[in-house]
Amino acid sequence: MGTQCEVPECVGEPDFDNLLAVLRREAPQRPTLFEFFLNQRLHDKLAPVSESEAQLPYAGNRQVLRGYRRAGYDHANVLVPGFDFPSERTKDTRTVSINEGALIHDRDSFAAYAWPDPEKAQYDILDALAEELPAGMKLIVYGPCGVLENAIEIVGFEPLCYLLVDDPELVAEVFEQIGRRLARYYELAAAHPAVGACIDNDDWGFKTHTMLSPSRMRQHVFPWHRQIVEAVHEAGKPVILHSCGHFERVIDDIIDLGIEGRHSYEDNILPVEQAYECYHDRFAVMGGIDVDFLCRAAPEEIYARAQALLQQTAASGGYALGSGNSIPDYVPDESYFAMIRPALEMRG
């Protein structure tokens, strides 16, 4: 196995049925990849954009589609633009306080907040990308952050915790405004024929516990996710939950949502190998190669771990190979290619 940073030469034809088989907790016809995000450097390497291509509508999304195709995925992920929850959080730093940028502090600021309209999102992006989709490939739509993430974004984490005591009715109204809008967004997006699945993305925890108590999560967060899942299922599409952080205390709630797959795993919470043995009979396990491991381990170690995961999951199915979270730009390119290479080699 070479460690050089190479773009795969032969990845075969895309076939979304393989990812559907994974989400049914079955063994796909061949090893299947799943990723939430790649980074711009990888997209430029996988799918360079010509000057004429750069002038097309949604040029960046078209590049993402081609990049995913070139790397051997059966899907490309897309966020429908024109629908997000305004905040004043700084956008030009990598790490910011989760108290920064809050716009809702009380009932007056709640009344003044500019709630987004999911009906006005630019769903024509799905038409534009559908024209470029290779046969067998599908789009996966994700959201503009999730129910809890957006509540924290527009209220602030510590202020939200105080409001849970000081004005619980206001907190319920904030979650209601966010949740029903997200559910409608997914309902509209999932209905498009080019969309094969949706990612319900919402980070819920730290390393050792959920951001809110499980009882508060059950009161304010999970009911809206259930509506999101039901909206996508109504369109006949499966749902992949992407949620970072500790999840042991709410695993029964996660299963109760009716999701087909779960994504985001960390070695210091529960390594994906163990997560698969614990939960693969309840939902598909997506990705899981820890991002810190991808950054620190040698390409040979990454290749060996990815290969072992494919071997571990081959008989029972319900697994797609990928990172524990995403491929940010600080993951070395050679580490990313070392991770996906076993799947591509086993296809031949």
The end-to-end CA distance of the chain, in Å, is 15
Classify residue 89: in a domain, yes or no: no
| Domain extent at residue 304 | 16-84+120-141+168-347
Question: What's the pLDDT score for residue 96?
Answer: 65
- Report the C-alpha gap between 202 and 144 in whole angstroms: 9
**Nearest residue to 41 via CA among 264, 303, 322, 327:** 327
Classify residue 330: in a domain, yes or no: yes
Classify residue 215: in a domain, yes or no: yes
CA distances from 75 to 13, 37, 135 (A): 12, 12, 11
Number of domains forming the structure of the chain: 1
Helix (H/G/I), strand (E/B), else coil: 69: helix
Question: What's the pLDDT score for residue 1?
Answer: 44
Classify residue 149: in a domain, yes or no: no
> In the chain, where does DSSP find H-type helix?
16-23, 40-46, 59-71, 107-112, 124-130, 147-155, 157-166, 168-190, 214-216, 222-234, 251-256, 272-279, 291-296, 299-313, 333-347
Classify residue 146: in a domain, yes or no: no
- Note the pTM of the prediction, 2 decimals: 0.95
> Mean pLDDT in runs of 10 for the chain (348 residues)?
62 96 98 98 96 95 97 98 86 64 93 97 98 97 98 96 97 98 98 98 94 97 98 98 95 97 97 98 98 98 98 98 97 97 91
DSSP of 193-249: TTEEEEEEE---B-SSSBSS-HHHIIIIIHHHHHHHHHHHHHTT--EEEE--S--GG
Question: What's the pLDDT score for residue 82?
Answer: 97
Classify residue 268: in a domain, yes or no: yes
Classify residue 11: in a domain, yes or no: no
Question: What's the pLDDT score for residue 89?
Answer: 67
Classify residue 34: in a domain, yes or no: yes
Helix (H/G/I), strand (E/B), else coil: 3: coil
We report the CATH number of the domain holding residue 238 as 3.20.20.210
